[in-house]
Amino acid sequence: MSEEGVDTREVAEGQEQHTPDPRRWRILGVTLVVGFMSLLDVTIVNVAIPSMQEGLDTSTGTIQWVVSGYALAFGLTLVAGGRLGDAYGRRRLMLIGLTGFIVSSAAVGLAPNVETVIAARLAQGATAGLLTPQNSGLIQQLFRGPERGRAFGAFGFTVSLSSALGPVLGGAIIALAGEEQGWRWLFLVNVPIGLAALVAIAVIVPGPDRQDDSGTWIDVPGALLLGGAVLCVLFPLVSLEGGALLPLALLLGAPAFGWGFVRWEARLGRLGRPPLLDVGLLRTLPGYSTGMAIGTLYFTGFTGIFLVLSVHLQGELGLSPLMAGLLTTPFAVGAAITAPLSGRLVSRAGRTLTVVALVTMMSGTALAAWLAPGFDDGAIWMALVPCLLLAGLGGGGVISPNFTLTLAEVPPRMGGAAGAALQTGQRIGSSLGAALLMTTYGVAMGPFGGEGALRAALIASLVVLSTALAAAVWSRRHE
């Protein structure tokens, strides 16, 4: 037992005597469908902002909260959702979360005004935060050894695919349903898919594992402290995307909430009560904090690229939402090729795989920054398609290996909360990246025009990705 009240032998808990569930790959398939749907709703509305603004007769700043509110609520509930899944069973949390997600999706699609849309999007994001951590928790629970790497490879593929295909599917749905009301079908399509997934979860996902009943007490004060820290970071970032600067003052509260959370969790450990997130145990695990840093920095540099490209292709080059989405598809194609492969290789290659993948992605992004601003709307595909394909080949090798390596020694009893903390960092990174790249694009627009602004935003992305690369190199040297 360590000074912090953590039994380091728990790291190996559940690793030796494990009987694989014969249905584990089918269970994973069902949960990844749900994960894809919830992650897709982060990016699918990016191309719908103009039509939503027109259909709801509101300002750009107000409609931005349809995008930002989802990301905010999503990030706030991730760790609590992961801990609830650890304590009460992942099937139960998936059924509760998916039911809420279906209802709130229908509420957005049928909303009579923008206020209802924003409120329903907040509810949708909160329920997605209950759903998503169950994916990593189930992988920790059901898979061991090299199989876990392959399972996280499938999960990484899902994350990459949902981020890249969001604009494409959004543009296609709007093209089919019409500019004025087509945006509603972005959300209504979740209802039939969600209902089918609800039945599949009830039938195939296993109930709670009762081998460890110590975790049914929920750390509400810890959840509030962590929620305050996340709110103080995410709310200013999503407000900045809409042009508001005053909420940046909330950033000052994040260290205080974070310090209070760590102190409270350490106290619970000394008292022998189950914390929301066992920070003492996670501190003893090799590579966890570095893996969280890599994931956060990668998402900061990665996700904003698609938002900037969507705005530039539609606003500066006059392309349709569907065409703008299609031009970002090569990234998804590249990620689809390498994500499953990286899941198979990570157990042998370790952090070297992350380093190579980041270098490959940065090469594609650098080529896009160099070539893409020189092409007009008729030839832009000549630059973007090969560059984004190369970037996607690298990107597919980042997410799943990072999950596998970061959570490798996390015991199954806290797999949901630990995986959710990792995903919370990714959500913060996504919001920070969107704000950073869009701000860079907007500031550079005046002196350099649209082409220069695009290049400046992509260079800003490269700067952030280089810090993720530095963290990966450091981790590799200390493996």
Listed range (57-71, 334-348, 442-456) with the worst mean pLDDT: 57-71
- Mean residue pLDDT across the chain: 81
pLDDT greater than 70 at residue 298: yes
Rg (CA), the chain: 21
Question: Residue 445: phi, psi to the nearest 5?
Answer: -60, -40
Listed range (164-178, 213-227, 384-398) with the worst mean pLDDT: 213-227
Better pLDDT: 59 or 472: 472
Q: How many CB atoms lie within 10 A of CB 367?
A: 18
Residue that the structure tokens 């996504």 belong to: 430
Structure tokens that stand for 414 in this block: 């806290």
pLDDT greater than 90 at residue 360: yes
SS3 291: helix
Asked if 344 and 403 touch (Cβ cutoff 8 Å), the reply is: no
pLDDT greater than 80 at residue 38: yes
pLDDT given at position 286: 67
Amino acid residing at 184: R
CATH no. for 23-207+215-477: 1.20.1250.20
pLDDT greater than 60 at residue 209: no
Asked if 129 and 211 touch (Cβ cutoff 8 Å), the reply is: no
Listed range (116-130, 169-183, 277-291, 341-355) with the worst mean pLDDT: 277-291
Residues near 225 by Cβ (< 8 Å), separated by ≥ 6? 257, 260, 261, 264
Mean pLDDT of the region 2-17: 44
pLDDT given at position 264: 87
pLDDT greater than 80 at residue 368: yes
pLDDT greater than 90 at residue 138: no
Residue that the structure tokens 């349709």 belong to: 320
SS3 105: helix
- As a whole number of angstroms, the distance between CA 327 and CA 330 comes to 7
pLDDT given at position 5: 41
Give the angle subtended at the CA of 394 by the CAs of 393 and 398, to the nearest 5°: 125
- Percent of the chain at pLDDT exceeding 90: 19
- As a whole number of angstroms, the distance between CA 362 and CA 364 comes to 5
Residue 178 is given by DSSP the state -
pLDDT greater than 80 at residue 84: yes
- Percent of the chain at pLDDT exceeding 70: 89
215-266 tens-digit pLDDT: 456 778 888 888 888 888 877 876 765 566 777 788 888 899 989 988 888 8
pLDDT given at position 11: 43
Mean pLDDT of the region 361-374: 90
Burial of 42 (0-12, 13-18, 19+ CB in 10 A): buried
- As a whole number of angstroms, the distance between CA 53 and CA 146 comes to 48
- As a whole number of angstroms, the distance between CA 323 and CA 70 comes to 25
Instruction: Select from 37, 32, 61, 33 the least CA-distant residue to 49.
Output: 61
pLDDT given at position 479: 67
Asked if 444 and 452 touch (Cβ cutoff 8 Å), the reply is: yes
Instruction: For the chain, give every domain's residue range.
Output: 23-207+215-477
Residue 9 is given by DSSP the state G
Asked if 325 and 170 touch (Cβ cutoff 8 Å), the reply is: yes
pLDDT given at position 216: 56
Identify which of 72-76, 241-245, 383-387 has the greatest average pLDDT.
383-387
Q: How many CB atoms lie within 10 A of CB 255?
A: 11
pLDDT greater than 60 at residue 30: yes
Give the angle subtended at the CA of 404 by the CAs of 401 and 408, to the nearest 5°: 145
DSSP assignment of 349-365: HTHHHHHHHHHHHHHHH
pLDDT greater than 80 at residue 62: no
pLDDT given at position 281: 63
Handedness of CA 67, 160, 295, 198 (dihedral sign): positive
What helix, strand, coil percent values describe the chain, rounded to 5? 80, 0, 20
Q: How many CB atoms lie within 10 A of CB 82?
A: 33
pLDDT given at position 240: 67
Mean pLDDT of the region 297-322: 83
pLDDT greater than 90 at residue 305: no
